[in-house]
Amino acid sequence: MQRRTFLTMIGGVVGASLLAESKPAGVIQTVRGPISPVDLGLTLPHEHVLVDFIGADLVSPERYDRDAVFAFVLPHLKQAHHLGVRAVFECTPAYLGRDARLLVQLSEATGLHLVTNTGLYGVRDNKFLPPYVHTENARELAARWIAEARYGVDGTGIRPGFIKCGVDPHPVLSPVHRKLIEAAALTHAATGMLIAIHTGRGPGLEQLDLLRAHGIASQAFAWVHAQNAPDDALIAAAERGAWLKFDGLNPTTLPRHLHLCREMKTRGFLAQILVSHDAGWFDPAKPGGGTFRPYDLLFTHFLPLLRRHGFSEIEIDQLLVKNPARAFAVQQS
């Protein structure tokens, strides 16, 4: 399949000039250092390389061989690069198998911009939260995440480019999950990084209220797995200015993703949408790492579907190039 983009359709010079007109300020912090948002290119804003669901008490790099994971994942990232991808945001948080050194190796081998994260993941009744979360307050948690943003994760010097947390899909945030959101607010205030919260059908609007109470604009929040939430809640979040991540692309969800992209386009919110697969990944608990779901359905099925339903190359470029560059750009002080 031949991939078409706005830039290739109308010519590099004209396309580059139009992109420059709306060039976002700031930087994108990749695992190999900061880049300009305009250099990010076509982006997958929610994918995984490695995830270990063993739990915070047992997770460890000793549970896998980094060289074996590298060999396992490399062909899939090369395929993504061949399809036109230039950047991948790796959304595995700490205590679920975040491995910044592995991402550097993969970035160097593929030429892709890879981005890691800071934050903590409270999903599945806090299985992946370390014990200190229950004794520290939001300010103390934020201090940990701010230190990672400034000095690097896990003692590597490799800096994160966004905040990734997770909450259970209950109607109301638990006290622990409220603390995670408050810590994310404090971290954003100190670093400018986007707050991406695994929310799904959960309390996204309550999170926006909590962020607002801490003086954080809705534009700093990305509702992760938003395709699982009711339309009216998503429209309300979009009206406030939040980012909506429709990031569960798989063969069974194509109709839902199409509906949401069309609905948001009709309502004028296309510039707040991020689309990705939530695919991958090497699982240390499974023989040989398990079965890897590639990062290709967007190109083989979803983009053709969008085009058949009237999406222009300009609108596709908005979704895949311009929106991620704006969403993840960190403003320099």
Q: How confident is the model at residue 20 (pLDDT cuts 50, 70, 90)?
A: very low
Lookup: tokens for 188: 């954003």
pLDDT of residue 244: 98
Q: Per-residue b/e over 131-158, b at no fewer than 16 CB within 10 Å?
A: eebeebebeebbbbbbebbeebbeebeb
Three-class DSSP labels, the chain: CCCCCHHHHHCHHHHHHHHHHCCCCCEEEECCEEECHHHCCCEEEEECCECCCCCCCCCCHHHCCHHHHHHHHHHHHHHHHHCCCCEEEECCCCCCCCCHHHHHHHHHHHCCEEECEECCECHHHHCCCCHHHHCCCHHHHHHHHHHHHHHCCCCCCCCCCEEEEECCCCCCCCHHHHHHHHHHHHHHHHHCCCEEEECCCCCHHHHHHHHHHCCCCHHHEEEECHHHCCHHHHHHHHHHCCEEEECCCCCCCHHHHHHHHHHHHHCCCHHHEEECCCCECECCCCHHHCCCECCCHHHHHHHHHHHHCCCCHHHHHHHHHHHHHHHHCECCC
Spatial contact of 128 and 168, defined as CB atoms under 8 Å apart = no
pLDDT of residue 331: 82
Spatial contact of 52 and 283, defined as CB atoms under 8 Å apart = yes
pLDDT of residue 24: 74
Q: Which residues pair with 170 in a beta bridge?
A: none
Averaged pLDDT of the chain: 93
pLDDT of residue 22: 52
User: Could you identify the residue written with the tokens 């100190």?
Assistant: 190
CA distance 4 to 291: 29
Lookup: tokens for 199: 């929310």
Q: How confident is the model at residue 25 (pLDDT cuts 50, 70, 90)?
A: confident
Lookup: tokens for 172: 């109301």
Spatial contact of 49 and 106, defined as CB atoms under 8 Å apart = yes
pLDDT, one tens digit per residue, over 27-81 is: 999 999 999 999 999 999 999 999 999 999 999 999 999 999 999 999 999 999 9
Residue 12 has pLDDT above 60, yes or no: no
Give the range among 2-6, 213-217, 257-261 with minimum mean pLDDT.
2-6
Residue 325 has pLDDT above 70, yes or no: yes
Nearest to 271 by CA among 244, 308, 292: 244
Q: Is the pTM of this model over 0.85?
A: yes
Q: How confident is the model at residue 333 (pLDDT cuts 50, 70, 90)?
A: low
Residues, the chain: 333
Q: How confident is the model at residue 4 (pLDDT cuts 50, 70, 90)?
A: very low
pLDDT of residue 8: 32
- Which residues are CB-neighbours of 240 under 8 A, at least 6 positions away? 208, 218
Indicate the pairing of strand 33-35 with strand 43-47: unpaired
Q: Compute the average pLDDT of residues 208-215.
A: 98
CA distance 330 to 142: 17
pLDDT, one tens digit per residue, over 263-320 is: 999 999 999 999 999 999 999 999 999 999 999 999 999 999 999 999 999 999 999 9
CA distance 131 to 31: 27
Q: How confident is the model at residue 23 (pLDDT cuts 50, 70, 90)?
A: low
pLDDT of residue 5: 36
